[in-house]
Structure formats: structure tokens, C-alpha cells
Amino acid sequence: MPPQPAPDQGVVTNPASLDVVEVAFALLEQSPHATLWFNSHGTLLYANPAALTLLHLAHADLNHLTIFTLQPQLSAATWTERWRTLQRHAPDTFQQMLRTTDTTLVLVTTTATMLHHNHQPVLVWTLEQCTPPSDLPELHFATERLDTLQMIRELFAGMPIISYLIDPQLHLIALSNYMAERFNVLPHAVIGKPLDHTGLVPEPILADWHTQFQHVFSTGRTLQVKEQITLADEVHIFQTARFPLFDERGAVAAVGNLSTDITQSRLSEQQLRDNEHRLQAMVQLNQHLLRTEQTRVAQLEALRTTMNEISTELSLPVLLRSILERAIRLTGGIGGELALYDSKHNVLRIMASINVDAGFEGHTQGVHEGLMGYVARTRQALIYDDYHAFAPLPAGYEQADLNRGMAAPLLAGETLVGVIALGVDHARLNFTATDLELLQLFADQATIAIRNAQHYSEARRHAEEADILRQAGAVVASTLDRVAMLRVVLERLAAVIEHDSASVQMVRDNVFEAVAGRNLPPGSDGLRYPITEADPLYPVILYGEPIVRRVVGNERFLSSPTFDHINAWMVVPIKVHRQVIGVITVDSRNPHAFDERDVYLASAFADTVAVALENARLYEEVYHLATIDGLLQIFNRRRFFELAQQAWAEACSAEQPMVAAMLDVDNFKRVNDTHGHAAGDQVLRVVAAICRDTLPPDVIIGRYGGEEIALIFVNTTLDAAAQIVEELRQYINQQAVPYDPHNLYVTVSIGLAAYPEHQATSLDALIDCADQALITAKRTGKNRVVRWSSDVPILLEFKEPHEYLNTIERDHEFSAKELVLLRRMMDQAKLSMDYHRHIHELLHAFDATLLGLARVVDMRDQMPGGHTEQVANLAVQLAAYIGIPDTEQPTIRRGALLHAIGKLGLPDTLLGKIGTLTHDEKEQLRRYPKIAYAMFNDVSFLRPALVIPLSHSEWWDGSGYPQGLRDHEIPLAARIVAVVDVWDTLRRDRPYRKAWATDQARAYLEQQAGTQFDPYVVRAFLQMLAEEA
């Protein structure tokens, strides 16, 4: 929203940002016409006082009102289409109904026009209330055209002061109703007449007014005067400003007059100064408006186009070269360089170079050297005529072809990101100040893209480093044998840092002892030697910082022939509580073998070793064993009940809500029987880990017994807890449990009970209610969340079918009671059979309909018959192969049948096009996943399957669409369909190519694993095909 003037600020705003729209906005505050401003999302940006009165609004309402509040029946799609129509055909006039805040409906005539404020489109509605006829007219859009001058005319009419507009022929073209009343004239009787024929101007001052208006028209400058006018035989003193209004060519289109009666009111000196400042601002505006607007539009249009081209690129090298190319094209330069600032070494690193003779890409230069160094130090953009004036020059730049040009810093706030320098052709004049301003604007925007790419690169690097640390931690936790553990650590270190030999040496009694080594000469293990100040490792012990020798000198211990192979080495300390207890040494035959990343990784391994060797953690481990379940790594039963009892007491005393949940793994016995108890333990570990990692930190999590996990939600309502555990259930349902040779998939059932809703009188009673709800969830189909209710105990009284059979298997005649029980069982069995038969028929019909739709999609997409059906078959087959439960496979089949259904919403010309798609066509094609989701989202039965059509076009590396998901953010079912869809497509003839051979398609899947596809799904699919073959 633009800054709103205070009520006493009149019609003039800040001169630094004033334009025609701002003039109009300032006048709105005094206008009797209701005016609303909206952005493209329908958010209400501004409402003037007249609008507040008409719609019964308060200023507080403006923070949350939208067009959909005023027109609840309006859909987002209709609003978007109306916005686009107004962009093409605005202004328009139409009638519509608006709802006020007290739900009253108001019929208004609306004039809509599009303006630009702060370079963003703004929709302006001017409203006039109508008396509704018996039959409301149909809403329509007229074709009446308005412009900004017309808008200002209308605003002048509503001004509560003497205000009017004069055209170049000194004809009156607008006046305020207030003025017409004061001068006792009718507006329609005087508008259009020469000023001296209107009777508005007293004869004695008519000539002065003519002269003043002619002066403003000829000079384009505002006049300020104090004048006396006789009204109703009384002399009034007016403070008057006559100012020009310019058209798009910079010519004065009209002169406005604002006269304030100051006879009775004594304005303070501050108010007078404020008015003078505002009037001066209007003078400055009208003097520079045309030039400023033309320059701004050209610059912003060029920047917008350029930034759209580079804003989505995340590869830093590609982005930097693209930025330099576009900067050269944008400014008309012939070449240039772009350097990034390395704050650690205080140097500039040349990352991109175009048409510079020497080609310095990849080189570094100090910030005290050359043109770029000067710009980096001063943080100022500049135009230069002699590159050699920026001595000392970096090495090799004496002949660089950048003798004239301009340069600008790349700044993120106060942080220097880099410098961009451009050269100009010797045959043309040097860059201008306008060119420099454009370059600085471009540099500011390009810096954002660079920072985004840097953050992306850093995130990926951090992920890799985190995985390395995780692997190292797993190695440390895998054995209690210290020497064996250290040797394994050295082997894992070799996988991430290329080197020839390495060792772990511990410090004991001022002596180094080599306790583990890799590729060391025979006899090195167990080698001991005293630590002296001459030893090259001594600084590591003294200061606790790594040392890197990229080129080996004459270190004493390296002078032996045993170490002749070493030409570069690195030492990192192993520290516990800041005390160096040992070192890891890494050696290489190659000079300059190690860089900062190697130091970081080696230090990470050293930290891991330090953690494994630190004896001070013994107490923490003992405490851990006393309170944490050894298998699940959550609270054991005793500690859980201690914490839960405390939470219960606090909930009762503070009258706060509390929820107990019981979670149990479905079909857990079958997992143990089928895969062994080790697999069952792994399932429990993964489920417990998911609970720890995904539930809120204040949830108490404990092992209740067997495969049951108990949860206590403190100060949490039943609805909130139910939502949390439902999300937990769905997440567990989608996660793979890693277990050779295949991953396992499990579901869980959860029972909930709440205090005080369920009137439990103790913690045990609350947990018992949750356990009853859990049993109900198990009996009613599993893989669900059930809340305790009064019906739960009744349901539990019904026995399982086999228990009834045991009851009625007798040798003697049935009693009357047993016969009644048997009849009830038969009735229930019949109802159940009828219900399941109807459900089966409905599902069969539903699936047949989906199959028919899939065949229609194949025909429209010119896909050989049976493609979608084959994709569904392969998806279900692969899901079963990797261990997804049978209950989930029908959902996967339905999602696979719908995976391309969104293409029904695309034109045939796009689907049938042979050849390269344009950018707009590609963007249109990328919409079909969302179209599919929108088509069936209201069908609750299909909603679980919609993750497949919505997400099967996502890529493992995050570069897919429509949501840019990556890795395990993509649902597993969608990852499965992505692989089998591409496989079957490649194996079929298309209009633009022949079907690929099996080996060729297999190679493509393997190539795209880790980029487009989940590597695990690709391996499982190809293994499944190999086993079938």
C-alpha cells in the first residue's frame, strides 16, 4: 500500500516518489467518491474515507480484507480472468453487488482502471451507490475509455476546496462541487466555456488570471499566490497554487488550480511550510516526470527480461557467465569480467571472462590491485577512461583489452559478493551515467541470483559433508575395538580424500605413538618417538589447529628414505575438551594435493574419532542405559511413566488438556515370522526414530511393551493431537524400512484418549482408554487412528469370529441363549457379506471407469494402446517386489492409471506436435499434473492416489515439476510410477522415434538414477526385470 497522508496534509505527497498516480492518490483522501485499490491476488491495498463509509469498514479491517470478502461468491479463477480482461481493456464501467462488513448488500456502479504504483499493476475501483431496481441488472463490462487526466477531473469535482482545471485554450474543463456552490453556479452550465465567460472570475483580476495561466502553460512551472476574491459581498483571502499537468509527450495538457480559504483559519507556520514543500514537490515532479518515467520504464523492462532469464539458474558457473553475457548485451559493451570475492583470503577470483585478450578466467587478484580491487575497496560503481590508472595492476593485465569502460560492485546489503567490469568499443564514446545506473541496478538484481546459487551450492555441499559424517559416526558405533575402529576410519577417509598413506597417532606422556595406519611402510604401527619443538607436528599439539604442507620442505622426520614418497601432507588434531590427544596425518605423492575441503573433512573424521575415544561420556552412557530403551532409543517403560505421571499431575492441577496415544505396528508378528526377529527389530527402530524426529519436542515418547509405543501430548487438545498422529501414521506408511535384500513397508494403528474429555480419573485409566481405542483400530481394519468414545468398550465386547466358533462348537444341543447368539452372528455375517459385495462391485466399476479414461488419454497423446494399463501393472508388480503392503497396492494402481489424466486439459495441437516445443508450450505442458489433481481432488476415495499424477514428474535432484520436490520429499508411489512410465514409453514406438531396445532403455534408467529417478527404485526395477527374464 502506498503511504497514506495524514488528514491535514492536503493533496501533496513526498516529492521523491511523486508521479501522476501519487497525485491521484493524494486527492483520493479528500474525494467524496469511494475508491478501492487491489493487487493481482485480490488483496485490498487501500480504501479512501468515502469507501470506508460506503462499505461500513474500519481501518482495522484493511489488514485482512480481500475481493473475496466483498464478493464471497467470486471464485479465484473468475477474479484472475477479470484481472486479465481489465489489463487488456481497462478502464471499464459495470454494476456489481458488494457485501459490507455487517453483511448488507450494496449495489454500486464501478469504474475500473489499471494504474502502476512502485512498478506494480494496481486495479482502482471508483464506486457510486445505486438504488437497486426490482430486478438487478446483469453484471457487465462496458467499453468506455478513461485516462489519468479523466480520473483527476473526477477527483477535482469532489475536492472540498476551490479547485478547477483549465485547458490550453483557457476553457474550464473541471471544477469542484464546493466551488460551484460558493460561486452559485451549475457545473454543467460553465464547464467547456472560456474562463472569462463563466462568471467565476471577478473583472478586476481577470487579466491577472489570464496572464498567470498563460505563464504556467508556457513555462510548465507552478505559481503560488495569495489573492482576494469577493464572495457574497465578503472579501476572502485565498492561498492559491496553479500547477501544470503533463501528457505523455511532456507537454502541458492542463493547469490545475487549488485555492484554500485562509480568511477564517490561521494556519500554523509549520503547516504553511509543509504546504510549500508539497507544492515545490509538485513543481519538481512536473519538471522531471516525463524524463524519469521514460528512463525508469526502459531500465525496468530490460532488467525484468534479463532477470527472468537468469533467476532460475542454480549452477553457479553457468549463472555467472550468463550474467556477464547479459550485462554486456544490456549495456552495449564488447567484453568484460566477473569476479567473486573470497573473504577468507581477501582476493577476487575471476569466474567469467569474455573478449578479454589475456583470458584470466580462474585467476585471482588482490583487492589492492587494479580496477576491480578499487571497486571492491570503495564499494562504488564508476566509469573509467584509463584502466592503467588503477595501479598496481594484477599480473598479466598490462595488455588487457579493458582500457575504457565501467565497473560496479555486487553487494548483498553491506556484504561484498563480487565485482563486474565491462569494456567499451574503442570506436564509440564511453559509457554514460545512465549506462552506469543501469549496470548498478542490474548488478543489484544479479547479486540476488548469485546468492541464491551460492546458497544452493552450499546446501548441497553441506548435505554431502553431513552424509560423510554420518558414515563416520556409523563406523565409530560399529565396534568397541579401538584399533580396528581407527583402521576402518582411515579406510573410510580414503574414500573421500585422495591420498597415498595416513596414520592415527596418539599423544601420551609427550610421546607420539602410531596406533593405526594405512599404506605405511612396514614396522610403522606402534612406532613411538618423543615430541620436540623441532618436530613439524609440534605446532598442531601447541595450538590445536590443522597444518597443511602443499609442497613439502625439509622437515626432519621426512628426511628419512622411508618418507621419500611424500610431497604434500596434512595433519589435523584429535581434541577432547580442547585438549589435543592425538593427530591424523594424511600424505600424498602429489604436490598441492590437499585443499581446504580436505582439511575440513579430515577434521570431521578427527572429531568423530575424538568422540569415540572420550572416556568422559561414560556417565552419560550409563544414564542413557538407565532411562532409554536400548533397541528403540526412546524412554523405557519406567522413565516414560515417571515423566507421564508428572505431566498428568500438572494437567490436573492446571486444568490443562492432555492426550495419551498408543501406537502399534500392524502385522508385526508376520514381519518376525517372514523376515526374522532382526527385521522386526529394525522395523521398531525405524518407527521409533520417525516418532522422535517428527513429533513435537514436548511429546513424551516411550516403549510401552513389545511393539507398542506410548505417547503423551501435554497441554494439547484432542483435535490437535489427532491431526499430529494422523500425519505421523501417513508418514510411516510411506517410509521404507531398509533391510537386505529388500526394503520393508509397514503400517501402524493408533488409539487416542484425552483428558478431560474422556473423564479418566488417573493416568492408568487414560492410557487404558487409549489402549482400547488402539484395539478397536486393529479390529476395524488397521492402519488408522481411532479416538476413544463410549462405544469403544461395547465394540470390544464382540469377540473375534474364531472365538465365537469355539463358543458354539459343542456336542450337546444349543441352548436358547446360544441360538440367539448364533442368529445374531448369521445376521451380522449376511450384512457384512452384502456390504463387501457392494463395495467390491463399486470398486470394480470405478476401476473400469479409470481404465477407460486412461485409454482415452493414450489415444489423445498418440501413445500406442495399452501404455497406461501396462504402467499400472508394472507399478503394482514393482510395489509388491519391494515390499509395499497388499492393502496399498490398489491405490498405486489407481494412481498409475491417472498419471497422465491431466493431459485431457491440454490442447490436441500441443499433444500432437512433432518437433521442439517453445518455452510457452513447455510451460503449458508442465501444468498437466496440477490439472489432474484439480480434476479429482474432490473425490475423497481417489485422494490418496492423486500423489502419483501430481508428483510423478518430480525429479530426484529437485529439478522436476510442478512443486520442485526432491529425494524422499517425493512420495514413494510417485517415484515408482516415474520409473515404469519412462521405461514403457521408451519401449514403444512414438510418432517422432522408434522404440528403444531393452539394453538402451536399461542404460538410460541407470544413467538417470540419482538425477531424475530414485536410485533404489531403479535398482529394484531392473533387478525385478532380470529375475523375470
Place of cell 467390491: 840
Is residue 828 situated within a structural domain?
no
Q: What is the pLDDT of residues 199-218, one digit of tens each?
A: 888 777 888 888 899 988 99
Binned at pLDDT 50, 70 and 90, residue 653 comes out as: very high
User: Residue 8: its pLDDT value, please?
Assistant: 35
Pairing of strands 252-261, 162-166: antiparallel
Query: What is the pLDDT, as a whole number, of residue 348?
Result: 92
- Structure confidence at residue 80 (pLDDT): 86
Q: What is the DSSP letter of 126?
A: E
C-alpha–C-alpha distance, residues 518 and 142, integer Å: 84
In a domain, residue 464? The reply is no
Work out the mean pLDDT of the chain and round it to a whole number. Answer: 79
Residue type, 933: Y
Same-domain check for residues 367 and 242: no
Phi and psi of 568, rounded to 5°? -155, 140
User: What is the radius of gyration, based on Cα positions, of the chain?
Assistant: 39
Contact 108, 95 (CB under 8 A): yes
The helix/strand/coil state of 336 is strand
Min mean pLDDT across 5-19, 720-734, 861-875, 913-927 is at: 5-19
pLDDT for the residue 976: 94
Q: Kindly report, residue by residue over 580-612, the tens digit of the pLDDT.
A: 888 999 988 887 788 888 888 888 888 877 776
Q: Degrees (nearest 5) of the Cα angle 353, 355, 361?
A: 25
1012 domain residue, yes or no: yes
Residues 140 and 163 in one domain: no
Q: Which of 582, 534, 531, 584 is closest to 554 using CA atoms?
A: 534
Kindly tell me if the per-residue pLDDT of 142 is higher than 50: no
Percent of residues, the chain, with pLDDT higher than 70 = 78
pLDDT average, residue stretch 243-250: 74
Same domain, 514 and 443: no
Grid coordinates of 831? 450384512
Strands of 385-500, DSSP E: 405-412, 415-423
> Tens digits of per-residue pLDDT, 734-748?
888 888 767 788 899
Whether residues 675 and 789 fall in one domain: yes
Q: For the sheet containing 120-129, what is the strand order?
A: 44-47, 34-38, 120-129, 105-117, 92-99
Neighbour count for residue 199 (Cβ, 10 Å)? 13
In whole angstroms, give the CA distance from residue 338 to residue 327.
Answer: 10
Residue 186 CB partners (closer than 8 Å, separation 6+): 180
564 inside domain = yes
The CATH number of the domain where 959 resides is what?
Answer: 1.10.3210.10
Q: Please name the residue that has the C-alpha cell 458488494.
A: 98
Work out the pLDDT band at 621, boundaries 50, 70, 90: low
* 817 in any annotated domain: no
Do 846 and 866 belong together in one domain?
yes
Per-residue pLDDT tens digits for 268-297:
555 566 666 666 655 555 555 555 555 556
- In this predicted structure, which of 373-382, 566-575, 611-620, 887-896 has the lowest mean pLDDT? 611-620
The reported pLDDT for the residue numbered 300 is: 63
CA dist 519 to 478, 502, 586, 626, Å?
23, 7, 11, 42
**Rounded-to-integer distance, Cα 133 and Cα 523, Å:** 106
| One-letter amino acid of 30 | Q
Count of structural domains within the chain = 6
For cell 526414530, the residue is 689
pLDDT above 90: residue 160 = no
How far apart, in Å, do the first and last CA atoms of the chain sit? 67
Q: Is residue 365 part of a domain?
A: yes
The reply to whether 100 and 196 lie within a common domain is: no
Q: Are 511 and 529 in contact (CB under 8 A)?
A: yes
Which of left, alpha, beta for 578 (phi over 0: left; psi -120 to 50: alpha)? left
Q: Which helix (H) or strand (E) is 68 found in, with range?
A: helix 67-70
**Nearest Cα to 220, choosing from 192, 249, 258?**
249
- Of 400, 425, 458, the residue that ends a domain is 458
pLDDT category, 753, cuts 50, 70, 90?
Answer: very high
pLDDT grade, residue 917 (50/70/90)?
A: confident
CATH number at residue 359: 3.30.450.40
What is the tens place of the pLDDT at every residue in 804-838?
Answer: 445 455 455 666 666 666 666 666 666 656 555 65
Per-residue pLDDT at 970: 92
Residue 246 sits in a domain of what CATH number? 3.30.450.20
Dist. CA 324–CA 349, nearest whole Å? 15
Greater confidence (1005 vs 934) lies with 1005
Residue-wise pLDDT tens digits, 469-499: 676 666 666 665 677 777 878 888 887 788 8
The pTM of this model reads 0.32
Please report the pLDDT score of residue 1019 as a whole number.
92
Q: Please state the rounded mean pLDDT for residues 498-521.
A: 85
Indicate whether 534 and 385 sit together in one domain: no
In sequence order, the β-bridge partners of residue 353 are 337
- Look at 10-24, 292-306, 346-360 and tell me which has the smallest mean pLDDT: 10-24
Per the structure block, which three cell numbers stand in for 800? 473375534
pLDDT interval class at 136 (50, 70, 90): very low
CA angle (381 as vertex; 375, 384 as ends), nearest 5: 80
User: Is residue 792 predicted with pLDDT exceeding 60?
Assistant: yes
Spatial neighbors of 890 by CB under 8 A, at least 6 apart, are 843
Q: Given the DSSP bridges, would you call strands 234-246 and 223-231 parallel, antiparallel or unpaired? A: antiparallel
* DSSP symbol at 43: B
Task: Tell me which of 97-101, 396-400, 1017-1021 is least confident.
Answer: 396-400
Continuous H helices in 614-717: 618-627, 637-654, 668-675, 677-694
Per-residue pLDDT averaged across 518-539, rounded? 81
CATH code: domain of residue 678: 3.30.70.270
Q: State the pLDDT at residue 870.
A: 87
The cell numbers describing 36, all together, are 478501492
Cβ–Cβ under 8 Å, residues 187 and 159: no
Task: Quote the CA–CA distance of 381 and 436 in Å, as a whole number.
Answer: 7
Give pLDDT, residue 238. 83
Residue range 765-772: mean pLDDT, rounded: 92
Q: State the Cα–Cα distance between residues 520 and 560, nearest whole angstrom.
A: 13
Range with lowest mean pLDDT among 95-99, 741-745, 749-753, 844-848: 844-848
pLDDT in tens, 980-1011: 999 998 988 877 788 899 999 999 999 999 99
Same domain, 420 and 370: yes
Average pLDDT over residues 683-691: 94
- Asked if pLDDT for residue 394 goes beyond 90, the answer is no
Domain that holds residue 514: 479-613
Whether residue 238 sits in one domain with residue 135: no
C-alpha cell belonging to residue 320: 555467472
Q: At which residue does the C-alpha cell 509538485 appear?
A: 282
CA 881 to chain centre: 35
Q: Would you place residue 9 in the very low, low, confident or very high pLDDT band (cuts 50, 70, 90)?
A: very low
Paired strand residues for 254? 245
Q: Same structural domain for residues 869 and 964? A: yes
Tell me: pLDDT of 615 over 80.
no
Given 613, 645, 679, the domain boundary residue is 613
In this predicted structure, the answer to whether residue 617 has a pLDDT above a threshold of 80 is no
Range with the poorest average pLDDT among 141-145, 448-452, 470-474: 141-145
Question: For residues 44 and 63, is the Cβ–Cβ distance under 8 A?
Answer: no
Region 872-896: mean pLDDT is 87
Output 775 or 915, whichever has higher pLDDT: 775
**How high is the pLDDT of residue 225?**
86
d(CA 164, CA 147): 18
Instruction: Give the residue carrying C-alpha cell 466399476.
Output: 845
Residue 578 included in any domain = yes
- My answer on whether 952 and 872 are in the same domain is yes
Q: Are 1009 and 1019 in contact (CB under 8 A)?
A: yes
C-alpha cell read off for 57: 469498514
Q: Which has the closest alpha carbon to 245: 232, 233, 256?
A: 256
Neighbours of 388 (CB within 10 A): 13
- Structural domain contains residue 121: yes
pLDDT at 728: 95
Residue type, 428: R
DSSP per residue, 962-999: SS---GGGS-HHHHHHHHHHHHHHHTS-BTTBPPPPHH
Tell me, yes or no, whether 171 and 127 share the same domain.
Answer: no
